[in-house]
Amino acid sequence: MYEAINTNQAPEAIGPYSQAVGLGNLIYISGQIPLNPSTMKFESANVEEQTKQVMNNIGAILSEAGLTYKHIVKTNIYLDSMDDFATVNDVYASYLSEPYPARAAIEVSKLPKDAKVEIEAVAVKS
């Protein structure tokens, strides 16, 4: 059976899902958009700032699970415009180190609440 992982240091779920779930040594982090957990609003329309907030939200969930960014093995990045890829990539890379997780980056037609970026992650407890 899996366990829900939730923290008030990341935005509460805006639908019927958990911030993350743990199953054995795997942690599946739901897609995070750039909501400030204190206000549940976007603090910026800038994709760089939105990506920082997304990565901070992921970090808070990892911390609640007793993990760090080094435990991430796979991410999926969803962008509302592939024109933002380089900016998002630079911010994303600043939170991680080699060996980098496996990853996909996909442009989509729309994200929840009109976010510019959403990132989901899978982490492994070592």
Q: How confident is the model at residue 124 (pLDDT cuts 50, 70, 90)?
A: very high
Host domain of residue 114:
3-124
CATH code for the domain in which residue 98 is found: 3.30.1330.40
Mean pLDDT over 23-33 rounds to: 98
Q: How confident is the model at residue 12 (pLDDT cuts 50, 70, 90)?
A: very high
Residue 126: predicted pLDDT: 84
- How many domains does the structure of the chain reveal? 1
The residue assigned the tokens 């994709």 is: 47
pLDDT exceeds 90 at position 1: no
71: region left, alpha or beta (phi > 0 left; psi from -120 to 50 alpha):
alpha
pTM of the model: 0.97
For 37-94, what is each residue's pLDDT tens digit? 999 999 999 999 999 999 999 999 999 999 999 999 999 999 999 999 999 999 999 9
